């Protein structure tokens, strides 16, 4: 079957997401919430696609099933409860733990089970599962933005499904025989290039659509645990439970150094011999006001920025885009800055990099990048003053 969304060579994961989201919106293939950009799409026919889940032998054999909390998997959660299997649902954004076990009230009818399968049901009829719990997950159901018939999966860009699986692997809750299923619209099945799939990316064994059941036959090894060298301090702050897992792994004698705790390669090389100053002065710094978006509010904060860094100016950021979404885009393109100053109300941001060559590479990487239908304008900051000058974006376009 020919993919509905055609992909050209050289596209990034973010480009593919954008194409799929645009196609779903342009063809009115989604239900609430809309628009689908930056979400796991709640596509029309989701219940029909999920209805094929009980036909899988792996579902019938499973005793414990983990299903993601997104709306299009609501029917999958209901079918799991209806089959009297243990249903585990990840805590939204992993804020307070890994997952909750749904416990329907005694004698629950189908209508009550349908309520238990909603976000309200998760709040009212669940108990948290601790990291030390001896849980065995037989089947995992995840959402996707795009997936290929070979099993290569692309999520919405925040990495929660990949992280959830890695955390379960660290706990010993999943293993080599754990089956992963994704439920998507037919148009979300595209030719994802294998070179975009990294070691930490979760692959899938089955794809369920409103018209097909696809067995991918994917042989690629799924995440065996958390790759701490790819985890940043920022991610540790966003997902507090990671600190507990890090402690457990450290006690077991594993290297749990984070990405930003490891010295860059160039720092490991011997320093070049040069002129020695007997009384070196500390680098100059200036204090700037930066608006940091958090929880939909702008908070003014004072930040110290070394004058040695090079700043990249980003504008034409569309209304409604959150700083977390921009950070996801930057991570996708290996462009995470030393510091990010967010001015969402003015549709712009400033990214600090350690040297000009890194900043130049980032500008080239982000050239032509679109978010929510708007092409970003990206350039090296004209001067340190330009950060707070209030100059309008030179290229405001829809």
Write down the pLDDT at residue 264: 57
Would you state the structure tokens that stand for residue 111, as one six-digit string? 């209508």
Would you state the structure tokens that stand for residue 160, as one six-digit string? 């929660």
Q: Can you list the pairs that 7-13 forms with residues at least 24 positions away whose Cβ atoms lie under 8 Å?
A: 7/190, 7/191, 7/192, 7/193, 11/193, 12/196, 12/332, 12/333, 13/154, 13/157, 13/196, 13/332
> HEC states along 151-189?
CCEECCCCCHHHHHHHHHHHHCCCCCCCEEEEECCHHHE
- Residue whose tokens read 């933005």: 145
Would you state the structure tokens that stand for residue 110, as one six-digit string? 């189908």
Domains and CATH numbers, the chain: 13-225 (3.40.50.10420), 229-261 (no CATH), 285-388 (3.30.70.330)
Per-run averaged pLDDT (10 residues), the chain, 398 residues:
88 92 96 91 97 97 94 96 95 73 94 93 86 87 96 88 87 89 98 90 96 94 87 81 86 87 50 34 40 39 54 87 83 83 86 86 82 82 50 49
Write down the pLDDT at residue 358: 85
Q: Measuring CA to CA, which residue among 105, 107, 176 is closest to residue 136?
A: 176
Classify residue 164 by burial, with Cβ atoms within 10 Å: 0-12, 13-18, 19+: buried
């Amino acid at each position: 079957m020919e993919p509905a969304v055609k992909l050209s060579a050289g596209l990034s994961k973010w480009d593919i997401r954008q194409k799929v989201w645009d196609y779903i919106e342009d063809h009115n293939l989604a239900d609430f919430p809309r628009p689908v950009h930056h979400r796991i799409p709640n596509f029309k026919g989701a219940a029909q696609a999920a209805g094929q889940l009980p036909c899988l032998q792996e579902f019938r054999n499973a005793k414990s099933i983990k299903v993601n909390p997104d709306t299009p998997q609501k029917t999958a959660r209901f079918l799991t409860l209806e089959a009297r299997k243990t249903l585990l649902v990840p805590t939204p954004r992993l804020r307070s733990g890994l997952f909750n076990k749904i416990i329907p009230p005694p004698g629950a009818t189908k209508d009550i089970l349908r309520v238990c399968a909603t976000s309200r049901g998760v709040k009212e009829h669940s108990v948290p599962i601790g990291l030390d719990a001896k849980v065995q997950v037989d089947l995992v159901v995840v959402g996707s933005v795009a997936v290929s018939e070979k099993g290569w999966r692309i999520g919405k860009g925040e990495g929660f499904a990949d992280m959830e699986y890695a955390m379960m692997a660290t706990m010993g809750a999943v293993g080599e025989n754990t089956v992963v299923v994704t439920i998507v619209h037919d148009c979300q099945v595209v030719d994802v290039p294998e070179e975009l799939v990294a070691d930490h990316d979760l692959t899938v064994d089955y794809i369920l659509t409103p018209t097909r059941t696809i067995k991918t036959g994917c042989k690629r090894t799924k995440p065996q645990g958390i790759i701490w060298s790819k985890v940043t301090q920022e991610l540790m702050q966003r997902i507090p439970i990671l600190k507990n897992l890090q402690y457990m792994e450290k006690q077991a004698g594993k290297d749990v150094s984070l990405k930003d705790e490891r010295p860059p390669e160039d720092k490991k090389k011997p320093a070049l011999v040069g002129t020695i100053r007997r009384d070196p002065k500390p680098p100059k710094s200036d204090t700037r006001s930066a608006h940091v978006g958090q929880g939909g509010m702008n908070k003014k904060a004072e930040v110290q920025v070394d004058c040695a860094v090079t700043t990249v100016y980003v504008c034409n950021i569309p209304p409604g885009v959150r700083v977390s979404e921009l950070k996801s885009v930057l991570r996708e393109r290996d462009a995470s800055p030393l510091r990010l100053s967010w001015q969402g109300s003015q549709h712009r941001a400033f990214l600090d990099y350690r040297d000009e060559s890194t900043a130049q590479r980032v500008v080239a990487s982000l050239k032509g990048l679109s978010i929510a239908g708007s092409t970003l304008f990206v350039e090296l900051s004209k001067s340190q003053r330009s950060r707070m000058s209030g100059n309008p974006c030179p290229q405001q376009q829809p």
